[in-house]
């Protein structure tokens, strides 16, 4: 199964930038989208269906905000919208797909960049999500967690760790949460293949030159649980794909 996780920062804007044309190149079997900023009815889904994709959407109640979707050429056995956490589900942040004994979770983690209130929401969300993941893992040991985590884990994952030590997304508490997650039986699939620095998946739009200069953050991940470790075949980041301020991250896994 070839999987891509991609924060589109608005699927309608991405379509205008050639997103559907890129899908025609068959980049993956399963495309996990975050921040759709749209409902299914806002998009010409016939184009997706013509490419062989089943599509599943979980949008925020607030129009033009947040939202996740999965486009998959492999039909899942079951799809679940949300994870039962009311404030998170209102914002359309989690969707689950079951493929035999493997559960794929596509999640759009909150950002805390808009101020203290949202940073507090982010910490609460992370705590509740961690507890929920552990419960799910007991029932479904084989998990894949795709998404925009809005956390750069280590200094290697951010171009200016010293200058961003007080920035949301690289705060000690956030990084400690990521460490706790990985130590609880998860694998950072990209780092399993790529220990090298300067590999990023997001670049600020406030400074137009930073993407060309590769001054970015790695905040998009496809992590898997330990029982899937030996099934990993390849992982990659595609910075040259440009429909968003993020780029796609990729995993090839045998399931």
Is-catalytic flag, 148? Answer: yes
Q: Where do runs of H (alpha helix) occur along 147-212?
A: 172-183, 189-193
Q: Where do runs of H (alpha helix) occur along the chain?
A: 11-16, 19-23, 45-50, 86-90, 116-139, 172-183, 189-193
Distance CA 248, CA 10 (A): 14
Closest CA to 27 of 44, 11, 43, 51: 51
Which of these is catalytic: 26, 29, 127, 148?
148
Distance CA 207, CA 205 (A): 5
- Contact 134/98 with Cβ under 8 angstroms? no
Q: Is 110 exposed, middle or buried (0-12, 13-18, 19+ CB in 10 A)?
A: buried
Distances (CA, A) of 76 to 10, 54, 155, 253: 25, 9, 37, 16
Q: Which residues are designated catalytic? A: 148
């Amino acid at each position: 199964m070839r999987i891509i996780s991609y924060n589109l920062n608005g699927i309608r804007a991405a379509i205008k930038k050639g997103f559907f044309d890129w899908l025609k190149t068959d980049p993956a079997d399963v495309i996990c989208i975050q921040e759709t900023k749209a409902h299914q009815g806002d998009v010409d889904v016939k184009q997706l269906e013509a490419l062989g994709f089943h599509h599943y959407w979980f949008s925020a109640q607030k129009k033009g905000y947040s939202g996740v979707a999965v486009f998959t050429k492999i039909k899942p056995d079951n799809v679940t919208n949300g994870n039962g956490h009311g404030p998170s589900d209102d914002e359309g942040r989690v969707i689950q797909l079951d493929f035999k004994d493997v559960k794929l979770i596509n999640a759009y983690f909150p950002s805390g960049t808009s101020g203290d209130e949202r940073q507090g929401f982010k910490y609460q969300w992370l705590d509740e999500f961690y507890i929920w993941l552990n419960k799910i893992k007991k029932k479904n040991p084989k998990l894949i967690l795709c998404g925009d985590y809005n956390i750069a884990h280590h200094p290697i994952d951010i171009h200016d760790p010293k200058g961003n030590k007080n920035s949301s997304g690289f705060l000690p508490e956030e990084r400690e949460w990521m460490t706790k997650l990985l130590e609880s039986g998860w694998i950072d699939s990209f780092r399993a293949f790529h220990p090298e620095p300067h590999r990023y998946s997001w670049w600020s739009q406030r400074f137009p030159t930073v993407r060309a200069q590769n001054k970015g953050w790695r905040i998009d991940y496809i992590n898997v649980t330990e029982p899937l470790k030996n099934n990993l075949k390849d992982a990659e980041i595609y910075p040259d794909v440009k429909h968003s301020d993020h780029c796609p991250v990729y995993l090839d896994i045998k399931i």
